[in-house]
Amino acid sequence: MAFLVRSSGAVVKDRETMEEILGTCGVSLELWPVQSTDRTAALLSRDSPGTEEVEEILSEQDRYFQKLREAHGYQTRDLVVVYPELPGLSAMLDRFRPIHYHEDDEVRYVVDGEGVFGFVLPDGDQVELLVEKGDFIRVPRLLEHWFRLTETRRIKAIRYFTGTAGWVPVYTGTPSLFSGETARTA
């Protein structure tokens, strides 16, 4: 289950309170059960599913894609797969750890594993949110945020796009109030 950590160290586990805090900066957090047959569960357990297997995983979750397409105009989706032995993992993660924003919304649906999104709130305070299997998150365009993995260094998330033009991180230079480790057991 997702939880939020304030820069003071206070932990928020109540979903309604988390949604209220995140709502101050326009972040949407929803819980969407991962649709899974025995076959897709097996595919999700693999570090690096093949192209056809990725399409099976995506197709299994397409009822959500249809909902997003109708409500928000998302046109494409893909599956990002991250695991400890992924070539170039450190360099990839280094791009998203500094505080940045995008010119387009960042939309993720976690279907396996976990990660941490951090956000700069309107009052300048910062929070970190642990997301895991079943969490759907929409980070609005231009919101200062960051992303990192937990110690498991594993996540599979469906990314939804209206286009790809706004996907380059724009670094703001805002310093993080976090040391980089949100307690997994909070």
Annotated binding site: 100, 102, 106, 145
State the binding site for Fe(2+). 100, 102, 106, 145
Tokens of 53: 């297997």
Packing angle of the helix pair 51-60, 62-72 (nearest 10 deg): 70
Annotated binding site for Ni(2+): 100, 102, 106, 145
How many residues can be counted in the chain?
Answer: 186
Question: 76: which DSSP letter?
Answer: E
With b for 16 or more beta-carbon neighbours within 10 A and e for fewer, the 137-162 pattern comes to: bbbbeebbbbbbbbeebbbbbbbbbb
Cα–Cα distance for residue pair 183/2, rounded to 1 Å: 12
